[in-house]
Amino acid sequence: MAEMKYATLYNGEAIPVLGLGTWDIGGGMSADRSRDAQAKQALRDAIEIGYTHFDTAEAYGGGHTEELVGEVLAGYHRESFFITTKVSPSHLRYRDVLRALEGSLKRLKMDYVDLYLIHWPNRQIPLEETFQALNQLVERGSVGYVGVSNFSVELLRQSQALSATPVLTNQVPYSVRDREYVQNGVLGYCQANGILLTAYSPLKRGVLSDPTVRRVAARHGATPAQVALSWLVRQTNVITIPKSSNRNRLAENYAALDLELTAEDMDSLDRAA
C-alpha cells in the first residue's frame, strides 16, 4: 500500500497531497439518489485504501454529495480526515456565507470543516463582504482554513489582502494537457506566495492517451493516470483531487504516490502540453 504524502501548511500542519474529488457522487447539480449505495461504497472503498482528504461542495448533487460524505464519515474519527467544501457564487453575501456553511455542516454531520473555499468568483458581490464572513467563521472555529477556486492572480491578491489568515489554496483545473493556469500566471504566483494550487480534473482532456504520458508510464511499468498524478504532486505547492467511484481506479490513483519520476520524466512531461 502506498504511503500518503503531505504538503506542509503555513502553521506547520499538513494536508494530504492526494485527495478525492466528489463531483457527480450523489448527482451533478441536483440530487440523484438512485446510485446512493454505489456512492457510499466508493467513499468507504476510498477510506479503506487510505484516502483521508475529501473535497466536496454545497452545489454538488444539490447538497446531496455532502450528505453522503457525512453519512459515511460519521462512522470514523473526525480528526482523521481533512474535509474541504465550497460556498456557491450565489451565496457570497455576508449572511448568505454564514447560512451556507451552516447548511454544509448540517449535511456533513460535522461541527467544522478543515477548508472552506469560494467556489467561483462573483463580480456582483464585493470580496470584502465575503471575507468578512469567512474571517468570522475561522475565528469562530467553524472553518480551519479559507481558500478560493477558479481565481485569477488579481482576485488572489485581493483575497490575500482581505483574509485575516493566509489564503491556503486556489483550486483550479490543471493537468499535463491543461496549462491555462500556468499561462495566466496563477501557478507561478501561488508558488511564489506560499499558496497551494489544488489541481482539479487532473485526468481529463486526453491526459490518459497523451503520447508522452504513455511513454513515461511504459518506462516505469505504471499506468498513465499514475504518471499524470505523480507529475502534479511532485511540483512545488501543487496537490490534486482526482475523482473516481471505481475501487480499482481509486487504488490505482492512490498508488501514484509511490511512483518516483526522474528529472528527465518531469522535464518531458513539463513540455508535453
Would you please indicate which residues are annotated as catalytic (active-site) residues?
60
Place of cell 491543461: 178
Alpha-carbon distance of 87 to 32, in angstroms, equals 20
Extract the C-alpha cell encoding 226.
Answer: 499514475
Extract the C-alpha cell encoding 251.
Answer: 487504488
Between the alpha carbon of residue 162 and those of residues 32, 133, 146, the distances in Å are 37, 11, 11
DSSP track, 75-142: TS-GGG-EEEEEE-GGG-SHHHHHHHHHHHHHHHT-S-EEEEEE-S--TTS-HHHHHHHHHHHHHHTS
Sign of CA dihedral 150, 151, 153, 154: positive
Alpha-carbon distance of 235 to 227, in angstroms, equals 13
Between the alpha carbon of residue 182 and those of residues 45, 173, 187, the distances in Å are 33, 10, 5
Please classify residue 260 by burial: count the beta carbons closer than 10 Å to its beta carbon, then call 0-12 exposed, 13-18 middle and 19+ buried.
exposed
